[in-house]
């Protein structure tokens, strides 16, 4: 009896099996191969990472002493969401149960998880489902995010409580969900904080672009309820997706997605439990109040322009060997709440390993931010 299992490319295990095949003995001697090239965004040398797998067609591989017929096929029609023709890996063997396939796929998933351990995995929406985007990256250290005193500690404590208190939520009849709205001027660390938190708690990030023309009320509800385990849903610049009419009724710029559909996906009856959602905006006042009410957003955190303490800490981060008095002097000379953390970072980049020059050049900080060629 022949038993078969098909693994479509839109399924997460497809890439896991691809990685597994890359290391299989058959692939090392196979003469008909396909190659997938990726680049690590954090590799300064931009060395390509090559993933070799058996090409389209039929192949015979062995696994735990059994012969398995592997067929890789490709659809003839391009999937707009994936930007390519979807593929399917079909495994077949003369067996009476699917146990050998379960073992193979489980081994492939574990191998993939080991490669991603300690890395930040990002997902985006493609063809109505979550797909891994790019290569896993090294998470940003939490200590590199400089917030107002006490804010970081409070957020970490809240998320720790949330992850631990599922039974407590259920005992009160409350949905086990938590939403954050990070708002304020651009360049103040909203997106950076989310990625750093994801790395700290070993969570993946699911980026949801509301202007994606594949989204409608049904697909967003499906996406919000089928997120990968241990992940954060992130909706960035949500104000950009909002349309404001003269009659005061808000809608979304994506014609296929309604505001009510988004609201139901966030906290409707079928909404996923144990979910963390982060939304960011530069213009909170433009958002519909229904979107930011308690139950959908549990915590509003303002990210303002850099204060004195933040400027001092960023100075120390860039110049750890500098005198403490230099950092304090910089913070005292810098106009309060005038520059974003991203602008200060750009300024410091002009004076790498030269804290004295960074301190002495503070009078021309605006010029340096506008013109990167201002190094001493």
pLDDT value of position 46: 57
Q: Tell me: pLDDT of 311 over 90.
A: yes
pLDDT, one tens digit per residue, over 202-212 is 999 999 999 88
**Secondary structure (3-state) at 354:** coil
Distance, CA of 124 to CA of 214 (rounded, Å): 12
Report how far apart the first and last C-alpha atoms of the chain are (Å, whole number).
77
Q: 45-49, 132-136, 276-280 — which one is most confidently predicted on average?
A: 276-280
Residue ranges of the chain that CATH labels 3.40.50.300: 142-302
Lowest mean pLDDT among 55-69, 128-142, 320-334: 128-142
pLDDT, one tens digit per residue, over 229-274 is 889 999 999 988 887 665 555 668 777 888 888 998 888 766 678 8
pLDDT value of position 21: 93
* DSSP, res 78: -
pLDDT value of position 270: 60
Distance, CA of 103 to CA of 180 (rounded, Å): 39
Q: Which two tokens stand for residue 100?
A: 């050998």
* Beta pairing, strands 122-126 & 129-132: antiparallel
Best CA proximity match to 227, nearest among 124, 149, 143: 124
Q: How far is CA 125 from the centre of its chain?
A: 11
Distance, CA of 331 to CA of 333 (rounded, Å): 6
Work out the pLDDT band at 126, boundaries 50, 70, 90.
confident
Q: Tell me: pLDDT of 85 over 80.
A: no
CB 145 within 8 A of CB 166: no
pLDDT, one tens digit per residue, over 156-192 is 999 999 999 999 999 998 889 999 999 999 999 999 9
Query: Which residues make beta-bridge pairs with 90?
Result: 6, 71
pLDDT, one tens digit per residue, over 2-51 is 899 999 887 888 889 988 999 899 988 888 888 877 665 555 455 677 88
Q: Tell me: pLDDT of 308 over 90.
A: yes
Distances (CA, A) of 95 to 26, 67, 102, 241, 304: 21, 10, 13, 52, 63
The mean pLDDT of the chain is: 87
pLDDT value of position 79: 60
pLDDT value of position 78: 65
Best CA proximity match to 193, nearest among 121, 280, 299: 280
Best CA proximity match to 30, nearest among 58, 66, 64, 63: 58
Predicted TM-score of the model (pTM): 0.80
Q: Which residue has the tokens 């009078």?
A: 363
Q: Other C-beta atoms within 10 Å of 138: how many?
A: 12
**CATH superfamily of the domain spanning 142-302:** P-loop containing nucleotide triphosphate hydrolases (3.40.50.300)
pLDDT value of position 255: 72
**Angle, in degrees to the nearest 10, between helices 308-318 and 324-333:** 140
């Amino acid at each position: 009896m022949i038993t078969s299992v098909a693994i479509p490319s839109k399924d997460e295990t497809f890439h896991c099996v691809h990685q597994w095949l890359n290391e299989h003995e058959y692939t090392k001697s196979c003469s008909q191969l396909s190659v997938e090239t990726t680049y690590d965004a954090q590799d300064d040398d931009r060395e390509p990472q090559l993933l070799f797998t058996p090409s389209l067609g039929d192949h015979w591989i062995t696994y735990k002493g059994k012969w398995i017929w592997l067929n890789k096929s490709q659809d003839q029609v391009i999937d707009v969401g994936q930007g390519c023709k979807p593929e399917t890996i079909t495994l077949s063997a003369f067996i009476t149960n699917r146990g050998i396939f379960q073992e193979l796929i489980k081994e492939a998933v574990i191998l993939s998880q080991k490669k991603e351990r300690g890395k930040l995995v990002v997902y985006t929406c493609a063809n109505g489902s979550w797909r891994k985007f790019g290569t896993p990256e090294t998470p940003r250290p939490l200590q590199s995010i400089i917030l107002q005193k006490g804010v970081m500690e409070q957020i970490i404590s809240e998320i720790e409580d949330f992850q631990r208190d599922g039974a407590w939520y259920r005992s009160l009849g409350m949905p086990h969900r938590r939403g954050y709205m990070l708002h304020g001027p651009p360049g103040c660390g909203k997106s950076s904080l989310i990625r750093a938190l994801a790395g700290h708690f070993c969570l993946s990030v699911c980026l949801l672009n509301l202007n994606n023309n594949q989204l409608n009320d049904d697909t967003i509800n499906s996406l919000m309820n089928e997120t990968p385990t241990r992940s954060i849903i992130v909706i960035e610049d949500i104000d950009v997706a909002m349309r404001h009419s003269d009659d005061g009724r808000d809608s979304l710029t994506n014609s296929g997605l309604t505001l009510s559909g988004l609201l139901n996906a966030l906290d409707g009856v079928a909404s996923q439990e144990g979910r963390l959602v982060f939304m960011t905006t530069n213009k909170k006042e433009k958002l519909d109040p229904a979107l930011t009410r308690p139950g959908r957003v549990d915590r509003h955190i303002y990210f303002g322009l850099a204060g004195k303490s933040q400027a001092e800490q960023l100075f120390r981060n860039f110049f750890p060997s500098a005198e403490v008095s230099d950092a304090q002097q910089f913070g005292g000379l810098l106009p309060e709440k005038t520059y974003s953390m991203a602008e200060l970072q750009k300024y410091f980049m002009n004076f790498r390993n030269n804290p004295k020059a960074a301190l002495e050049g503070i009078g021309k900080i605006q010029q340096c931010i506008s013109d990167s060629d201002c190094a001493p």
